[in-house]
Amino acid sequence: MKRLLVLRLSALGDVIHTIPAVVSLRERADVTWVVEAPYRELVEIVAGVSTIPVRMKKWTREPRAAVGAIASMRHVDVSIDFQGLVKSAILGFLSGARTRYGFHRDAIREKPALLFSNRHVPVDTTKHVIEQNLELAGVEAGEGNWAAFPTAVPGTENSIVILPGAGKPNKIWPHFRELAKLLGSRALVVWGPGERDLAQAISAPMAPPTNLRELAYVLQKAEVVIGGDTGPLHLAAALGTKVVGLYGPTDPRRNGPYGQASRVIDRFRTTKSMESISVEEVVKTLERVLVE
């Protein structure tokens, strides 16, 4: 069986979007996944493959810290770079893999990354990123072991979860406080590192601090999860929870909650502004989703 190195370092949503391809790949190869350390447990439990955890920011400050991890990437036959960045492509090159797959120049995020791969695969960039990853790997989607991942957080069940945070300020919807007032005790604000002040400003019941597995439980047990283009929204969709996605500057056709396109409020093709999504429109969409 071939030894295969998967490269998708981060972030949460992107790791989730790579899992269906990796689950299928493990049926035909001995797979090891290079991933940022916070997502190691997610990958090992849900995708069922071994990992090499990395900390790229630390490596930038302390290059010697990378030596052991890079050494453990050796002795592979093939690498697949699902990230398309120079940093991920270099890791594939350093692995010594003779065959190194990556996206074609029309789909890759950083063109210089092409220098470090030798099999450039064209994909349909109009499709969802999960489907692009499947095309890169040449497989059909596999089902990850999502049921084994969540860890219970009692008292958070059956809520309408609000996700106020996002990786970039322009992905944050500014009207969650008004929405939460309408939802009353049904609302539960879920927040992550650096988001406590943002969550408190909504003035609604807040979830306790959670690790990733506890977050998965809160999202899995929600009635509906409402949020922008952020990792926890994609986690909720992967867990099978109904979502209402709020999209302004990013394209939901590529980055939307997979399998729930009809539950997205899309401003990408008009204003590209989260501000232009009204509370009334969110409430109307939420009411529809609750009865579906």
Give the model confidence (pLDDT) of 221-271 as tens digits.
999 999 999 999 999 999 999 999 999 999 999 999 999 999 999 999 999
CA distance 238 to 258: 8
Tell me the CA distances in angstroms from 286 to 137, 229, 248, 262, one per residue in order.
Answer: 36, 17, 18, 12
pLDDT over threshold 90, residue 73:
no
With 70 as the cut, is the pLDDT of residue 61 above it?
A: no
pLDDT at 134: 98
What's the pLDDT band for 63 if we cut at 50, 70, 90? low
Instruction: Kindly report each contact of residues 39-44 with a partner whose C-beta sits within 8 Å and lies 24 or more positions away, as own/partner.
Output: 39/10, 39/12, 39/15, 39/212, 41/212, 41/213, 42/12, 42/15, 42/16, 42/149, 42/212, 43/15, 43/19
| Distance of alpha carbon 112 from the chain centroid | 24
**Length of the chain in terms of residues written:** 292
Q: Is the peptide bond before 180 cis (omega within 30 degrees of 0)?
A: no
pTM (two decimals): 0.95
d(CA 132, CA 124): 6
pLDDT exceeds cutoff 70 at 93: yes
pLDDT reading at 67 higher than 70: no
Q: Collapsing DSSP states into helix, strand and coil, what is residue 68? A: helix
* DSSP strand pairing (2-7 vs 29-36): parallel
Check residue 103 and give its pLDDT: 98
In the numeric block, which tokens belong to residue 10?
């981060």
**How many angstroms from the chain centroid is the CA of residue 190?**
17
Q: pLDDT digit string (tens) for 94-118?
A: 999 999 999 999 999 999 999 999 9
